[in-house]
Amino acid sequence: MKTIYVCVGSSCHLKGSYDIIRALEKLIKQNHLENEVELKAEFCFGNCTKPVSVKIDDKGPYSVDKDRVEDFFRQNILGDN
């Protein structure tokens, strides 16, 4: 099982971390991955000057904005290139 962690610290919160969480929840359901991908909120990854910080297991942080969350998901969760 993969775990996606989305930063909800104050900087990422202001940059739309909850929009990212909602989008990832939707993508997980659309792709029927509820039993394979877990989504969790976490505080501060120390990447505060960039877009919302996201980790996958122990990889990252990746910087994700709401306009690129679907591309991020396809590339890093579905493995599309």
pLDDT one-digit tens code per residue, 3-24: 999 999 999 999 999 999 999 9
Q: For 51-62, what is each residue's pLDDT tens digit?
A: 999 999 999 999
Burial of 12 (0-12, 13-18, 19+ CB in 10 A): buried
The total number of structural domains that make up the chain = 1
User: Exposed, middle or buried by CB within 10 Å (0-12, 13-18, 19+), for 32?
Assistant: exposed
What are 63's strand-pairing partners? 53
Domain of 36 in residue numbering reads as 2-78
- Spatial CA neighbour of 15 closest among 70, 55, 65: 65
| CATH assignment of the domain containing 7 | 3.40.30.10
